[in-house]
Amino acid sequence: MAEERPGPWFGFGFCGFGQELGSGRGRQVHSPSPLRAGVDICRVSASWSYTAFVTRGGRLELSGSASGAAVRCKDAWASEGLLAVLRAGPGREALLQVWAPESALRGEPLWAQNVVPEAEGEDDPVGEAQAGSLPLLPCARAYVSPRAPFYRPLAPELRARQLELGAEHALLLDAAGQVFSWGGGRHGQLGHGTLEAELEPRLLEALQGLVMAEVAAGGWHSVCVSETGDIYIWGWNESGQLALPTRNLAEDGETVAREATELNEDGSQVKRTDGAEDGAPAPFIAVQPFPALLDLPMGSDAVKASCGSRHTAVVTREWGKYGQLGHEDTTSLDRPRRVEYFVDKQLQVKAVTCGPWNTYVYAVEKGKS
């Protein structure tokens, strides 16, 4: 099989701070647009007001409210409070640096530490996690925090494979495919059936027995992808980011009939209106505190997922389906819808990364691999 040729990255969504979103002008890009250096980019991390791009040659470039560049970079993680950069060191070592985004990567970082990956083998099943992307560190025993102390150790029993940080919560995928969550829970984003916070990582009992391959944390919602290609999603649904019915969108696009407000046993809010297909009231889901199985169109299998502040993006085995949003308009949706741009261009989506209000996609020509 021929080696796959690098493809371009595309961007769409909010760019009010001048973030690189292809050839977009103004504050929004409604349809996927190629990034100028798209073919050379290997990693993207987007915060609210700026985006960090890492190229295959190890160059880091910032775009938006923060600017600047650095070399010998392996990875970067952007947030409004800090920019974490993993730079190549001697041998297998790496240098972790934490910068103020407005520093333009000049002068001295706020904090720095050498990171030495653990030796492979010797009862360590997390080989692929050693090279995992930020905020999980290569040693897989600690992670970068957006607030000091910037270096946070993980419990020894947590064999970390992937870590995702949302606005107020964290999701961890371990080597066995189990999911743990902790942090704020007032929007149901922890998936434990309550709206309570968890100070320590807690296993999602609702997903026990299911092997997960990937997790994603949004503003106040969460997603995970199973090894069999199923999507489970939970948390806040104000903009339809869970692909479940939401009142805001129903009122925008439909006539809302008789409405009643109820409280679930866990205190979460459910609003109902007439109009379900079977004649029963259709539920409006404001908060989904347990993981819910999401049916993708045409029985598609998911391989990757990413979450923004109020939107969700999923890559399937055949094509990309997205929810900011790439549909050539600004309409919110509470059901999955394919981004036709990639179908029309005969591009196969390989990766997706959501910023709070925008989306970046990596795609290659279909049939070239």
pLDDT at 261: 38
Select from 81, 80, 77 the least CA-distant residue to 97: 77
Over the chain, what HEC string results? CCCCCCCCEEEEEECCCCCCCCCCCCCEEEEEEECCCHHHEEEEEECCCEEEEEECCCCEEEEECCCEEECCEEEEEECCCCEEEEEECCCCCEEEEEECHHHCCCCCCCEEEEECCCCCCCCCCCHHHHHCCCCECCCCCEEECCCCCCEEECCCCCCEEEEEECCCEEEEEECCCCEEEEECCCCCCCCCCCCCCEEEEEECHHHCCCCEEEEEECCCEEEEEECCCCEEEEEECCCCCCCCCCHHHHHHHCCCCCEEEEECCCCCEEEEECCCCCCCCEEEECEEEEEEEECCHHHCCEEEEEECCCCEEEEECCCEEECCCCCCCCCCCCCCEECHHHHHCCEEEEEEEECCCEEEEEEEECCCC
d(CA 20, CA 39): 14
Q: Are 180 and 199 in contact (CB under 8 A)?
A: no
Higher pLDDT, 266 or 234: 234
Grade residue 167 by pLDDT with cuts at 50, 70 and 90.
very high
- The reported pLDDT for the residue numbered 121 is 45
pLDDT band at 196 (very low <50, low <70, confident <90, very high): very high
- Give Cα separations from 1 to 5, 319, 364, 369 (angstroms): 12, 21, 15, 7
Strand ranges across the sheet with 169-174? 160-165, 169-174, 179-183, 198-203
pLDDT above 90: percentage of residues in the chain: 51
Question: Span 22-36, mean pLDDT?
Answer: 73
- 316 burial type by CB count under 10 A (0-12 exposed, 13-18 middle, 19+ buried): buried
Backbone torsions φ then ψ of 214, nearest 5 degrees: -160, 150
Give the residue extent of every domain in the chain: 154-255+282-338
pLDDT at residue 333, rounded to an integer? 54
Q: Is the pLDDT of residue 208 over 70?
A: yes
Fold (topology level) of 154-255+282-338: Methylamine Dehydrogenase; Chain H (2.130.10)
Parallel, antiparallel or unpaired: strands 9-14 and 142-144: unpaired
Task: Please tell me the predicted confidence (pLDDT) of residue 318.
Answer: 63
What is the chain's mean pLDDT, rounded?
80
pLDDT at 174: 95
pLDDT for 259 beyond 50: no
Q: What is the pLDDT of residue 198?
A: 97
Of 229-233, 256-260, 283-287, which one has max mean pLDDT? Answer: 229-233
Contacts for 101 with CB less than 8 Å, ≥ 6 apart: 47, 50, 62, 65, 66, 78, 80, 81, 82, 83
Q: Picking from 123-132, 241-250, 287-296, which range would have the lowest pLDDT averaged per residue?
A: 123-132
- Write down how long the chain is: 369
Contact in structure between 224 and 174 (CB atoms under 8 Å): no
Q: What is the pLDDT of residue 47?
A: 94
**Most confidently modeled of 34-43, 106-115, 120-129, 290-299?**
106-115
pLDDT above 60 for 368: no
CB distance 308 to 352 below 8 Å: no
**What does the buried/exposed string (b/e) look like for 198-232 if buried means 16 or more CB atoms within 10 Å of the residue's CB?**
beebeebebbeebebbbbbbbbbbbbbbbeeebbb
Percent of the chain with pLDDT over 70: 76
Residue pair 20/34 in contact by the 8 Å Cβ criterion: no
Q: Answer yes or no: is pLDDT of 366 > 60.
A: yes
Q: Lowest-confidence range among 161-165, 193-197, 240-244, 318-322?
A: 318-322
Q: Per-residue pLDDT for 206 more than 90?
A: yes
Confidence check: pLDDT of 12 > 70: yes
Segment 54-81, tens digit of pLDDT: 999 999 999 999 999 999 999 999 999 9
pLDDT digits (tens, 9 = 90+) for 339-356: 888 888 888 888 899 999
